[in-house]
Amino acid sequence: MKPKRAIFFLICLLAVALAIAQSENADPVGISEPAGSDQEPAQTKVTTENKGEDIQIQNQQQVETNNPEAGEQVNTQEQTQLQSGSYTTEEGKQVRVEEKTNNRIEIRSGEATAESAMEMTQQQTEQGTKLQVQLSNGRNAEVKIMPDTASERAIERLELKNCVAEEGCTIELKEVGQGEQVKAAYEVKAEKQVRVLGLFKAKMQVEAQVDAENGEVIKTRGPWWAFLTVNAEE
């Protein structure tokens, strides 16, 4: 009986050893596959959806740019340096521009002529030609008022008979003011016949500044004794 017991004991040991070996080779309970293998499809899906949204946004922006009804239409007209030639402004004024020496230009409208050394640009719109000048503070000021209108405003304010170059009247488009208050204005200078104390004839230098954007008379200037004068009669 002893040999049989020994054999039985060996068989039991082998069975236990095989069971232990099988349990070690098996996957541990509760441990899943690596996270990367399960998340790759989700990540691919999200990336694909994001690309689709980007394309949709780009297409929508392109439609809004090309479709004026979808929003504000982009003005494709570029500003270019003002050159010699005839123009019709957005206000319907006929303007003649001529380039002069020393980087100066001459602007003629009606019977009035103004000179300027400012950098001036023109832009074609549906309404006509938009004229602008570059200011020292970086802002572009639109020139809506032409020399003939500026001359009329100055004549009225300075109580002049007329403003003609032959009689010493000059008009210049220039920058006036300081800092953020700078603007483009016509400076009209003229010589005025007056009587001092109502008795003595004299010539008085006067000037006025007319806003080139809205036509408002910004400033007038004369000699200190101007209050002692009256306009001379013919």
The pLDDT tens digits for 101-144 are 888 999 999 999 999 999 999 999 998 999 999 999 888 999 99
Specify which residues 80 forms β-bridges with. Answer: 122
Q: What is the pTM of this model?
A: 0.66
Nearest C-alpha neighbor of 186 from the set 159, 146, 155, 141: 146
pLDDT at residue number 25: 52
pLDDT digits (tens, 9 = 90+) for 15-55: 766 666 665 554 444 434 444 444 444 444 444 445 445 54
Secondary structure letter of residue 145 according to DSSP? S
Decide: 114 and 165 in contact? Cβ < 8 Å: no
Confidence (pLDDT) at 84: 86
Between CA 170 and CA 33 the distance in angstroms is: 91
SS3 content of the chain, % helix, strand, coil (to 5): 35, 35, 30
Q: What's the mean pLDDT in 67-75?
A: 44
* Cβ atoms < 10 Å from Cβ of 175: 19
Residue 21: how many CB atoms within 10 A of its CB? Answer: 10
